[in-house]
Amino acid sequence: VYEPSSSSAPPPVLRRKITGHVGFSNLPNQIRRKSVKDGFQLTVMVVGESGLGKSTLVNTLFNSAIYTAREVLHPAAERPKTVAIENIHVDIEENGVRLRLNVVDTPGFGDFVNNTQSWKPILETIEQRFDAYLSQEHRVRRAKMVDTRVDACVYFIQPTGHSLKQIDIDFMRQLHDRVNLIPVIAKADTMNDDEISDFKDRILSDLSFHNIRIFEAPIYDDDDEESLMECTEIARAIPFAVVGSERVVRAPDGRIVRGRAYPWGVVEVDNPAHCDFGKLRQMLVQTNMEALRAHTNELYERWRTERLLSMGVVQDASVFEEISPAERLQEERVMHEAKLAKMKSAMQEVFREKVEIQENKLKQSEVELYARHLEMKEALKKQWRQLIERKEQLENPSSPDAVSIFALVRNCRPKHEAA
């Protein structure tokens, strides 16, 4: 029976090697079977200016028309004129393994005259997704939790050959603490090998100058030589210079390949000598998907701590410290109250703003009314003065009007009366 020790030091752990077969070495197989049965999930966000080949690359990565579904729902012409967030959910299957793929697209990023805040709606989405996960964790029934967190953000860099643009730096600086950043050089077939290599160096030095952390695949101590080489190659290729294509073309040697055909030759998407597409796919789905998810969890934990501290929750028990249900309830109550207080102050702020707007409108219409009143008063005064003048003219017998009226009256009298 485990009894928590009163001292803060953890109890010593004994190490033993067993001689006979017990069977727990079969544990990884059990996990494999369960994982295959449950399926996997990956949430990838794609960010980059319009036309850099985001949808083509996602379709190429998963070898399926993931983006047609979105085009049917939201044709490009109808899409909003601000940075929007669009979600695509697809279930794909390979050799009996199911993957629920969620693609979070960000149409409109970097497409405006002023792009200084383009990163903001994207950061908000990532944090809202963390928030949604956090509220699920606090539910009484948590059996069917949905992981809403973004596992990776593939950021498309324009193949300019110069260095990172301000929008790239701003975006990555704001987001690197919240999501695994995977920068890629878009449409790498528009540059030659030397240009790509120089561009990569510049990008890496920009990233280190601005202290931007991008996702790095972990290297494990027990990795064999082949895996080590693979990981090193992937790490060396970052930022990946990618080419996307949903079409198959005939290579000069007669092979049918996925690629882009030009008058001078064929760029093969899956050929490592032509581009880094394969390495990106390897990192995202073949080798490092779990590492991405694990690192997302670390980022989430950091965000969660910040969030709870900002809400006034200060408890943090060590592993061996017991937390009583009463304390937990109290903690949850504090959190709930802090949330309510925050909502209340937000509502009060909105109310105050609305009252202020109405007051300003009232003041404005009061001023307008007073001006109209003065105008009408002035017009009436003027009319009054004109009437007085007219009256005086009519009452004066020598005035031309009075003379002509007398003449008119005389002419209108019956003849005998006039005589």
Residues lying near ligand GTP in the complex (CB under 6 A): 50-56, 107, 187, 189-190, 243-244, 260
What is d(CA 51, CA 108) in angstroms, rounded to the nearest whole number? 10
Contact 230, 243 (CB under 8 A): no
Tell me how far the alpha carbon of residue 162 is from its chain's centroid.
27
What is d(CA 182, CA 87) in angstroms, rounded to the nearest whole number? 19
- The residue among 79 and 98 lying less far from ligand GTP, judged by its C-beta, is 79
What are 80's two structure tokens? 């909003």
CB of 246 vs ligand GTP, minimal distance in Å: 8
Tell me how far CA of residue 345 lies from CA of 294, 339, 358, in angstroms: 36, 10, 20
- The residue among 45 and 299 lying less far from ligand GTP, judged by its C-beta, is 45
CB of 76 vs ligand GTP, minimal distance in Å: 6
Non-local (6+) Cβ contacts of 284 within 8 A are: 42, 44, 61, 152, 154, 182, 292
CB of 255 vs ligand GTP, minimal distance in Å: 19
- The residue among 2 and 264 lying less far from ligand GTP, judged by its C-beta, is 264
CB of 88 vs ligand GTP, minimal distance in Å: 12
What is d(CA 99, CA 94) in angstroms, rounded to the nearest whole number? 8
Contact 106, 85 (CB under 8 A): yes
- The residue among 60 and 282 lying less far from ligand GTP, judged by its C-beta, is 60
- The residue among 63 and 383 lying less far from ligand GTP, judged by its C-beta, is 63
The region that residue 364 occupies, defined by phi over 0 for left and psi between -120 and 50 for alpha, beta otherwise, is alpha
CB of 85 vs ligand GTP, minimal distance in Å: 13
Which residue lies nearest ligand GTP, judged by its C-beta? Answer: 53
CB of 283 vs ligand GTP, minimal distance in Å: 18
- The residue among 234 and 267 lying less far from ligand GTP, judged by its C-beta, is 267
